Every structure is written in structure tokens, then in C-alpha cells.
């Protein structure tokens, strides 16, 4: 059942998107952020996921910053780059996925079409099938993004099974950000090593690894990747590390108090790791000074640097 030997296995940061004061992507800061994440234990990054404020940006903005990231790979050997390509538009999602693969991305992570929430599974299967047929090469890696608390559109086990049967090579797996322990266990029981599963909920990381997950893609990996990497490596060695999971739980509890995550992560990266004070894109707003001071104190007490 274990997926740890898969080439994509490991710890990924759902990276923030550096932004200037005018909300435009900060291309100059991205290389240093990628270097920082790799040096602290990340096997890869996901650009333009939820923490990266992906749906807030145009296709052109997303692809331009992706190109900046891909240009850095020669300086960051081994760092894998995933790209958040989901939109409610079928045509736009196809364009983003095809463009990303043409540029040389390692894989795409795609939300379901989230505008219409009460849709039939057959409709979702058709939508994902068209994206896979028209935009994903046979050897490309496509990950569905299961985050029903945000999208309102779950990816059921039966839907995943249908997609895997129809596209056994290109439909690689799922990013599971449901926060549902039962679902994390069911994924492992249903698919074993046949479907790559990346945990998106830090509090469930150990459980997901026990169920056979390949690794994680989380917001907290921007800040806690050393702990996530230690826990991942322990499981590869057949060891359980409850104290590491407890630390992740404590840190995640602090983050949860200051959601949405992009503004919290950007504030912590600036205050504790010397990065610029990056803007967040409206409708998100930065944490004001008094809550930020409290957040920093809580984080330092719970998690350290």
C-alpha cells in the first residue's frame, strides 16, 4: 500500500504567491522563496493552490510566475514544481494545464468546477475527462484537488475510481484537503498504491501516511517543513513519531485561529524568516498589527522558528 517509492513522494509546500503592493506577482522574490523551501526539507512546491491564492490570478499571471519558477530549476536540482490549474471554466482549465505541461511542469493540481455545487457525478466525470483528454500528455501527472469545505464539490471515491480506470497513467492521484480522517483512511483502503494521495491537512498527516499516502501538500510546509520532513522520513523507516505529530497539531491550531492562511503565512515568513512583507490579493487583507503581534507570540510559544 505504501507509495513512498513513487518519484513524486514527499513533502510539498502549498506555496504563497509573493505580491507587490499593487497586487502584481513579485517575480524577483520567488527564487529566494523556492530556495528557502527546498533547504528546509521540501521535495517540491505547489504554485497557485489555495495558499497561493490561485483563483485570484489571471491565466497569464499564473503562467508567467510558473515560468519564473521553472527557470530556477537548474539552481534547485531535484525540486519538483506542481501548478494549480483549476478554474470553473473548462476552456481556461484546459489552456492552463496544456500550457503548463508544454512549459515543463512536473504536474498539475486541478480543482473541480466549483461554481455549480449540486452537479451529477457524470457531469464531473465528463469535465475532468475532457481536461485529461485535451491537455494532459500520457506521461503527465494530473492530481485532482479534493477540498469540499472550500469548493462545495467533493471528489467521491467512485469518481476517482472511474477517472483512474479511464486514464490509468495521466490521472495520477489526489490532494486530499477534506480534513476528514475517515476519508483519508478510505482512500488508502480503496486504492492502495494505485492512486497517489497527498495529505492537505497537517493534523491528519500521520494517519494519512499510515493509510499509504505518498506525502503532503500543505500551507504549513511554508513554515514547518523541517518537522513535516522528519515525520515523513520516520514513516519511510517504519517508525512512528507521535511527538512530531503533536507539534504539527499544535502549530496548525495556531494557524487555524488566523485563517485565511495566505495572510498568516506571509506575515510569519516576513517576521521570522526575513522575507519582504508581501501583500495579499483582495478580497483577502493583511493581519493588522495587534492581531499579528498576538499571532507571532502564539506561534513562537507553540512552534519556535
Active-site residues, by number, are: 50, 115, 145, 175
What gap in Å lies between CA 276 and CA 88, rounded to an integer?
A: 32
Phi, psi torsion values for 109, nearest 5 degrees: -120, 120
What gap in Å lies between CA 105 and CA 80, rounded to an integer?
A: 8
Amino acid at each position: 500500500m505504501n507509495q513512498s517509492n513513487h518519484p513524486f513522494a514527499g513533502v510539498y509546500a502549498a506555496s504563497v504567491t509573493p505580491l507587490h503592493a499593487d497586487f502584481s506577482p513579485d517575480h524577483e522574490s520567488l527564487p529566494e522563496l523556492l530556495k528557502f523551501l527546498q533547504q528546509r526539507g521540501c521535495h517540491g512546491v505547489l504554485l497557485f493552490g489555495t495558499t497561493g491564492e490561485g483563483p485570484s490570478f489571471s491565466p497569464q499571471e499564473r503562467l508567467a510566475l510558473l515560468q519564473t519558477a521553472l527557470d530556477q530549476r537548474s539552481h534547485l536540482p531535484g525540486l519538483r514544481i506542481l501548478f494549480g490549474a483549476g478554474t470553473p471554466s473548462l476552456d481556461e482549465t484546459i489552456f492552463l494545464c496544456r500550457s503548463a505541461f508544454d512549459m515543463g511542469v512536473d504536474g498539475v493540481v486541478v480543482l473541480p468546477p466549483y461554481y455549480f455545487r449540486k452537479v451529477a457525478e457524470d457531469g464531473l466525470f465528463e469535465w475532468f475527462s475532457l481536461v485529461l483528454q485535451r491537455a494532459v500528455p500520457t506521461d503527465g501527472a494530473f492530481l485532482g484537488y479534493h477540498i469540499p469545505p472550500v469548493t462545495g464539490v467533493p471528489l467521491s471515491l467512485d469518481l476517482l475510481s472511474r477517472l483512474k480506470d479511464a486514464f490509468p497513467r495521466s490521472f495520477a492521484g489526489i490532494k486530499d484537503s477534506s480534513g476528514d480522517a475517515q476519508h483519508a483512511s478510505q482512500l488508502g483502503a480503496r486504492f492502495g498504491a494505485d492512486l497517489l494521495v497527498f495529505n492537505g491537512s497537517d493534523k491528519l498527516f500521520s494517519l494519512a501516511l499510515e493509510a499509504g499516502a505518498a506525502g503532503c501538500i500543505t500551507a504549513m510546509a511554508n513554515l514547518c517543513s523541517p518537522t513535516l520532513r522528519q515525520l515523513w522520513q520516520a514513516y519511510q523507516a517504519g517508525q512512528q513519531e507521535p511527538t512530531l505529530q503533536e507539534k504539527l497539531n499544535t502549530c496548525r491550531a495556531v494557524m487555524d485561529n488566523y485563517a485565511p492562511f495566505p495572510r498568516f503565512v506571509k506575515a510569519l515568513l516576513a517576521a521570522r524568516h526575513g522575507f519582504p512583507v508581501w501583500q495579499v490579493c483582495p478580497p483577502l487583507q493583511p493581519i493588522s498589527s495587534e492581531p499579528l503581534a498576538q499571532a507571532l507570540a502564539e506561534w513562537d510559544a507553540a512552534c519556535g522558528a
